[in-house]
Structure formats: structure tokens, C-alpha cells
Amino acid sequence: MAMKVVLTPLTHTGKRCIGISFTYNFELKEYLKRFKGVRWSKTHRCFYLPYTPTSLESFWDYLNAEGYTVDRDAFALPPKNKRYFHRKKGGLLPELTADNQRIHESYLKYLRGKRYSESTVNVYGGFVYEFLQFTGTKPTEQLTEDDVRLYVEWAVKTLHYAISTHRQLVGALKQFAFFYPACAIDAEKLQRPRKDRKLPTVLSKEEVFTLLRVTRNLKHRTLLALLYSSGLRVGELIGLKLPCFDLERKQLHIMNGKGRSDRMVILADSFIPLFRNYFLTYRPKEYFVENPKGGIYSATTVRTILKQSCRLAGIKKRVTPHTLRHSYATHLLENGTDLRYIQVLLGHSRPETTMIYTHVAHKDLQSVQSPLDTLLQALASRDKDDTNRLLSDGISGITLIN
């Protein structure tokens, strides 16, 4: 019988926390302690975790990953992707009027009719729901770009939306303007902020090996190994079904990936025995990796597993499942794989997207010589009497010996 963990609201040192109760079990206790933020309270005689909606969801997924039964009925949470409780000038955003509720439901149907993914429908729907909350009882037909501007300014300042979230928000409102032409919002006047041009975080090959080595749980090691060895997105990983694996041809069929496109990727020779061991141990029925209660696995659980493994591996970088995909592409490029093949393996529609990895691959960069080194070598070759010229010459202080 699965161990039961009960989560209840708890106020500790004046802060809202999650109280954790369970019938004593040593393995469960040690597993709880490995989750970041879990502490023991002498006052309340129980473990606790600082409360946020994200920490509650992550902790729930963390317990479910090992098959523990979780009772969290004491927490009345709003549905995901619906922002009912954001604050506006010290108060709560109002609920939608009946008319706006109907408009919002029709907007969701409109997005599904355009064949947007369910994830996009939820995200766009959440932003438009929030926008209609923000505008209150103002008739929808009277909404203008000024209302959009005020909402965006409030959301960015109050909710600290990142640029990527800001761009999604504008995309959602553009679609709303197309869907509801009766309003006075001109979609063409809504401008997205420019994208960040940040280079992706990449792990070294040694860091990837250490990460997999410290992941002792067979299921966890298998899913992390597949993320890296085939360059998958986390959504593609949890959506994989068993018929997608072709072990004879060492191929993996990714169906309905980003942009509703299919592709074939390679299965590493070293992954196949790990997969067979995992399959014989866990006996998944439909999906490659399944929830202990059956059905699709949680992406949040994958992130939690990766975070725990990075901590054990001593990796200080900010690592997400997409970091393993970035590392896969970069290591392929460093191994001499043609950029066109990498584009196909990653499922990029445009080669410009794949080109970013040329900026983080180190193999060719390491062969480029700094002009400072060239300068010193030229001086040394010109001055035959001083062939050991060093940049540190003439400086007092600690002498470094190579």
C-alpha cells in the first residue's frame, strides 16, 4: 500500500507554509529532506515547506514521482493558467462579467478552431482572461489600444513578466483583436518587444556524464539520458508512446512536435540497454514514461528530477530540460556534425534558429589565437635575447609558478 502524505496550510514564523504529515517511515522521511526548502519545525513537530503555488505543485509532483499518495485537499487552489488572484492597486482583480465570460469561452473555441496546441490555448486564454479582468466592467466593444497599453504596463510592473512572457501576452491580445473585431483594438498597432539575444546555457560533456552518473533511480536516469542523447523537448519526452521506439533501426519517431511536425531522431547505442532495463523493470503500458497512477508524466516532475540531479552533481549553472537539448546540439557541432543535419535532428523549421549553436561551440573557437598572444610572440621572436617574455614581468606581488 502506498504511503500517504497529507499537506495542510501552516503559519510558521509569520509566513505561510505547507505542513507535511505522514505515518513515520525512514525512506519517506529521507526522501522529503532531499526536496529543496523542506525543514523540520520543533514548534509544530512536523516538516514544512514555504508556500507558493509553484512550490506546492512541484512538491506534489516530486512525491507522485515515487508513488506516494498525496492529500492536498486543504489547499483550495485556482485552476492552472487562470489568474484569478493577481492584485491591482492593492486589491484583487474582479471576476469576469457574464458577457465577458461568454466572450472568453468563445475565444478559446476560436483558438482551437485555428488548431493551436492546447498549451497555447491555455496560455493565450489566461492572458486574455486577465486582460478582461483588468478592464473590469468596461464594455468589450469600447476596448482600445490604450486599454491594452495600461494592462501591459500594469502586468510588466506588477507581475514582473519577462520579455518572452510579454511577447506571448501581446500575441494573445493580437489574436483576441482578430477574433473580436467589434472592439476598437487595432491588432496591427500592438507591438511585441524585441527578443533577448541570449546565448543558451550548455553543459560540458563531463558535466552531462556526472549528471547521469549521480542519478541513481533507473527511471530518472533513463528519461534524462533520452533528453540529452536525442535532443528532445520536455513536451516531446512526456508525450512519447512505446511504438515510437524502433530499436532495430536505432531511431525514435517524434510525432506532432513543435509546429505540429514529425521527425526521426537517432537512439544512442549506449541508451538502448538502459531502455531495455528500464522497460523490464517498470513495464510501462502506453507512454515511454508514465505517472505512477497511470497516464502521462508531468513536465514539472522532470524539472524537479533534473534539479535534484544537478545538485548532487555539484552543477551550479541554471539547468532546465532544454539545457540538455542545447548541450546535445552544441556537442554534435563540436564533433563535426554538419549544421544541416543538426537542424533536421532538432526539428527547426529555419536554419537561423540552429545557427545560434555556432556561437557556443568551443572546438573552433579554441583554435583562434588572441591578438595579445600574437603580439607577445612577435616581440619574443624579434628580441632574441629575451625569448621568455611574460605579461607578468615587472609586477611585484605573488609569483605564480606553472
Angstrom distance (rounded) from CA 30 to CA 178: 54
- In this structure, the chain runs to a length of 402
Asked if 278 and 219 count as a contact pair (C-beta separation under 8 A), the reply is yes
Label residues 3-21 b or e (16+ Cβ within 10 Å = b). Answer: bebbbbebebeeeebbbbe
What region, left, alpha or beta, does residue 394 occupy, with left being phi > 0 and alpha being psi -120 to 50 degrees? left
Q: Give residues with Cβ within 8 angstroms of 311, minimum separation 6.
A: 36
Angstrom distance (rounded) from CA 177 to CA 196: 26
Give Dmax over CA atoms of the chain in angstroms: 90
Nearest C-alpha neighbor of 320 from the set 203, 164, 160, 197: 203
User: Active-site positions?
Assistant: 233, 258, 322, 325, 348, 357
Q: Which H or E run contains 55?
A: helix 53-65
Nearest C-alpha neighbor of 334 from the set 297, 298, 362, 293: 362
| Sequential DSSP letters for 265-326 | EEPPTTHHHHHHHHHHHH--SSBSSB-TTSSBPPHHHHHHHHHHHHHHHT--S---HHHHHH
| Sequential DSSP letters for 363-378 | TTGGGSPPHHHHHHHH
Label residues 139-154 b or e (16+ Cβ within 10 Å = b). Answer: ebeebebebbeebbeb
Label residues 261-287 b or e (16+ Cβ within 10 Å = b). Answer: eebebebeeebeebbeebeeeeebeeb
Asked if 53 and 47 count as a contact pair (C-beta separation under 8 A), the reply is no
